[in-house]
Structure 1
Amino acid sequence: MREKILVVEDEIIIAFDIKSCLEKAGYIVPEIAAYGRQAVEKAGEIRPDLILMDVMLKGDMSGIEAAAEIGHLFNIPVIYLTAYSDQTHLQKAKTTQPFGYILKPFEETQLITTIEIALNKHQIEVVMREALEKEKENRAIKNKFVSMVSHEFRNPLNNILTCTELLSNYDLQFNEEKRDEYLSHIQKSVKHLDNLLADVLLMSKDENEKLQFNPTPLDLEKFCQDLLQDIQLSVSENHKIIFTVHGSLANLENNSTVQTSHLIKLDGKMVYHILSNLLANAVKYSPVGGNVRFDVFYVPGEVIFRIQDEGIGIPVADQENLFNSFHRASNVGKIPGNGLGLAIVKYYVDLHGGNISFASKPGIGTTFIVNLPINN
């Protein structure tokens, strides 16, 4: 692609000589400007790759002032054209960090060489600036990650420490029920730490190291019933999970992937994580309780899961970033979480070649829908 160069020169004959020279060398000269303010406007309109700017221009804005504003607004490299070699103008021009100087009258070879050097220099600076910004972004993500993981680990570790201290001082005033309660707290905290560690390790792995998609025949209804038994262990009396199956495998009888009358092929480990995470979130983000509806739909070529709660909902401003790692909605308050769950859910759904979508309204609740193809 040929580079565009804006020529800013108030002597029209010199301006056309420069234009002719540049076009002969293969550059595009879309505009010639004669005034500083006009140069700023044209720079914003056409976004040239480089500007040749006369230091002294007619009007109320000099070339140096115009270059300074263009650099601030658009980050476009500028080469100065000047008939002056005195130190006053050169020192003033240096403050705008130009990419070169060309003294008039100029030679064509000098002009083209200076332009090529300036374009290459600017490209290198752009690449370095992007790399620096990426490094800053990565460092910020890393710091956020360390801070969040440290916080997430600290809570269950504190629970374990407290319970073990109480048990170490165990005496006859503690009945068996109380002892079992402390042991249960420890077991739950250890399980939470184990799940958190697994999530962190998964998200930190290289793509080639992550869990690979491995579909196997699955009795889906029994699978969901077993999953619900696990989930019910951590569900309070204020929550009720309503499980409904719509349709049957008869809907899929023409699909060659149905191995028997009860089995379809899905990756059980991934589906367990997808559904358990969504169901756990539905309960967790419904702090005052309510119904959680868990529906399974059999349709030709795919199975659809719908999980619907009556919880706090997701603010509109957070919905766009919901599946990004470490993102948590602004209304979660002190509800625990690490912002990794939905990112992993999305990753597992994608590995199935499926789709996940949601609808949510703050104060009303959230519905997640997961479509997983069974002809994978």
Structure 2
Amino acid sequence: MAPPKLLIVEDEIIIARDVAAQLVALGYDPVGHAMSGPQSIDMARALRPDLVLMDIQLAGAMDGITAAQAIRDSFFIPVVFVSAFSADATIARAKLTEPYGYILKPFSERELHTTIEMALYKHQAESKLRDSAAQLSALSQSVLELLEAERRRVALELHDEIGQCLAAIKINLQSHHRFKDRTPEQLNAENLAIVETALQQVRRMALALRPTVLDDLGLAPALHSMAEQAGARSGFSVCFETSDPPQAPGEDATTNRPPPAVESACFRIAQEALTNIARHAQATHVVVALVQTAHHITLEVRDNGRGFDANSTYSRARRGNSLGLIGMTERAALLGGHVTIASQPGHGCTVRLSCPLPPPANHPAPP
């Protein structure tokens, strides 16, 4: 592994050379030496060091504290101050830049090494925290977008399906006296048929929002039922493959069911994959495979359709232009799992979910 790169900011050449020699002896790479505040900013921009050793008192109008603030704000590079001054006012100003260390001259090689190592460690931890915060922010934004998309879908279905049925009933009730060619019994039968259609649509929407078979029978039957219905609607054959989860003697089938959150994620990811197949794949055959072990669950949805460029799909998802893929990957990520998509034009597509399971009761976790 390459040694950490350090930028020295010191207006005394002899001191700078001595510090550089110490850094080399400690296993660091002194990549540059700046003698002023503006020069340190330019070199930080060009060299992108892992850490800056900054003297506070520098020649020119810009001192080390001002330069350190600019470097931190612009490049998120950690700064350790090196100074012979320990006045309260100086330290108070330096603290405002949130430095990663403050070494008083003269210092020992051991002190220099310890301060640098702690600064690098702290910066690495902060970087991970920033990345996690950015991912959480992106996830929150994606969740909001998915919720809005789902609201739009439900609103559209209510308007186009339930709304149309209710409007037809209203027209029949308001205008029954004008229908000279139909008896009241015929109008009543027509209204009952419309109501039955509306009830079926409500049931279908309710099942889409939360399938009762998932709660009542479990993941495998729910996936099988959904896949068969999707195939019947879209004209492709379905093969459902599953393996029974491991069972200890005396346990019933529900003992080792995955947690509800895992079952829901598997169901929704399979639902999204089957929806995409119906819309885009032009497939004639689909395989849904579910494998559960004591500590892991794997779901695959494979089709023999026309396929697509998976890399471009991932690129669109990273730009926020593929809410379906975003939804699948984020559902898996929230459970510690991941989704992969393998596809090429003309060679079908495989959507694969891999997700860890919590250890069963009285069973040790895997090593």
The SS at the match of 1:29 is: strand
User: Match for 2:59: what amino acid?
Assistant: K
Matched, 1:183 2:160: no
Distance of 1:326 and 1:194 partners within structure 2: 28
Taking a change above 3 Å as real, the CA distance of residues 42 and 322 of structure 1, as seen in their structure-2 partners, is: closer
What's the secondary structure of 1:80's corresponding residue?
strand
Measured in 2, the distance between the counterparts of 1:103 and 1:184 equals 82
Q: Once the 2 structures are TM-superposed, how far is the Cα of residue 186 of structure 1 from its aligned partner?
A: 3.3
Partner residue, 2:12: 11
CA-to-aligned-CA distance 1:148-173 (integer Å, 9 cap, x gap): 44554455567659957987997948
Q: Partner residue of 1:43?
A: 44
Corresponding residue for residue 290 of structure 2 = none
Q: Could you tell me which runs of 5 or more consecutive residues in structure 2 were left unpaired when the two chains were aligned.
A: 177-183, 243-268, 286-301, 332-337, 351-367
Deviation at 1:354, TM superposition (A): 5.3
User: Do the aligned partners of 1:296 and 1:306 also contact (CA within 8 Å) in 2?
Assistant: no
Aligned partners of 2:340 and 2:60: how far apart in 1? 65
Aligned partners of 2:92, 2:270: CA distance in 1, in Å?
Answer: 67
CA contact (8 A) 1:322 1:342 kept: no
Q: Confirm whether residue 52 of structure 1 aligns to residue 66 of structure 2.
A: no
Deviation at 1:278, TM superposition (A): 4.6
Greater fraction of residues in helix: 2
Residue type matched to 2:79 in 1? Answer: V
Does the aligned pair in 1 maintain the 2:23–2:29 contact within 8 Å?
Answer: yes
How far, CA to CA, are the matches of 1:108 and 1:101 in structure 2?
14
**1:135, 1:62 → 2: CA distance?**
37
Give the residue type in structure 2 aligned to 1:127.
K
Any conservation in 2 of the 1:213–1:351 contact (CA below 8 Å)?
no
- TM-score of the superposed pair, with normalisation by structure 1: 0.56
Cα shift at 1:304? 5.2
Secondary structure at the counterpart of residue 58 of structure 1: coil
Deviation at 1:19, TM superposition (A): 0.9
Instruction: Decide whether aligned partners of structure 1 residues 273 and 119 sit closer, same or farther in structure 2, where only a CA change above 3 A counts.
Output: closer
C-alpha offsets along residues 94-115 of structure 1, whole Å, 9 cap, x if unaligned?
2211112122222222222222
CA contact (8 A) 2:223 2:270 kept: no
Question: Could you tell me which amino acid in structure 2 is paired with residue 140 of structure 1?
Answer: Q
In 1, the alpha carbon distance for the partners of 2:220 and 2:7 equals: 50
- Partners of 2:272 and 2:25 in 1: how far apart? 64
1:72-221 matches, within 5 Å, as: 72-153=73-154, 156=157, 160=162, 172=184, 174-197=187-210
Is residue 355 from structure 1 mapped to residue 332 from structure 2 by the alignment?
A: no
Alpha carbons of structure 1 residues 47 and 272: separation in structure 2 relative to 1, 3 Å: closer
Deviations 1:227-246 (A, max 9, x none): 5x7359xxxxxxxxxx9xxx
The SS at the match of 1:340 is helix
Preserved CA contact (<8 Å) 1:49 1:76: yes
Q: What is the CA deviation profile of residues 164-198 of structure 1, one whole-angstrom value per residue up to 9, with x for unaligned ones?
A: 79879979483534432342243234324423546
SS in 2 for 1:31: strand
Cα contact 1:36–1:62 (8 A) shared by 2: yes
Whichever residue aligns with residue 305 of structure 2, its letter is F
- Give the conservation status (yes or no) of the 8 Å contact 2:23–2:30: yes
- Helix, strand or coil at the partner of 1:305: coil
Q: Decide which of 348, 353, 356 is 1:371's aligned counterpart.
A: 348
Distance 2:119 2:57 in 1: 21
| 1-structure distance, mates of 2:283, 2:113 | 69
- Counterpart AA for 1:86: A
Is this contact kept in 1: 2:41–2:70, CA < 8 A?
yes
> Amino acid of the residue matched to residue 305 of structure 1?
G
Q: What TM-score do you get using the length of structure 2 for normalisation? A: 0.57
For the Cα contact (< 8 Å) 1:156–1:189, is it kept in 2?
A: no
Number of positions where the alignment pairs a residue of Structure 1 with one of Structure 2: 274
Measured after TM superposition, the shift of residue 79 of structure 1 is 1.0
Give the drift of 1:139. 3.3
Deviations 1:331-365 (A, max 9, x none): xxxxxxxx438977xx9xx99985155xxxxxxxx
* Deviation for aligned residue 1:305: 3.0
- Residue identity over aligned pairs, in percent, reads 29
13-22 vs 171-180, greater mean Cα deviation? 171-180
Aligned counterparts of 1:6 and 1:266: Cα–Cα separation in 2: 62
Cα 1:148–1:210 change in 2 (3 A) is farther
| Most deviating of 74-83 and 37-46 | 37-46
The code of the aligned residue for 1:184 comes to: T
Matched, 1:230 2:233: yes
CA contact (8 A) 1:323 1:343 kept: no
The 1:213–1:193 alpha-carbon spacing in structure 2 relative to 1, beyond 3 Å, is closer
Question: Does the 8 Å contact 2:84/2:104 carry over to 1?
Answer: yes
Three-state SS of the structure 1 residue aligned to 2:305 is strand
Structure 1: segments with no counterpart, 5+ residues: 202-208, 215-222, 233-242, 244-263, 283-293, 308-317, 329-338, 358-368
Find out whether 1:305 has 2:317 as its counterpart: no
SS of the residue 2:65 aligns to? helix
Contact in 2 for aligned 1:15/1:32 (Cα 8 Å): yes
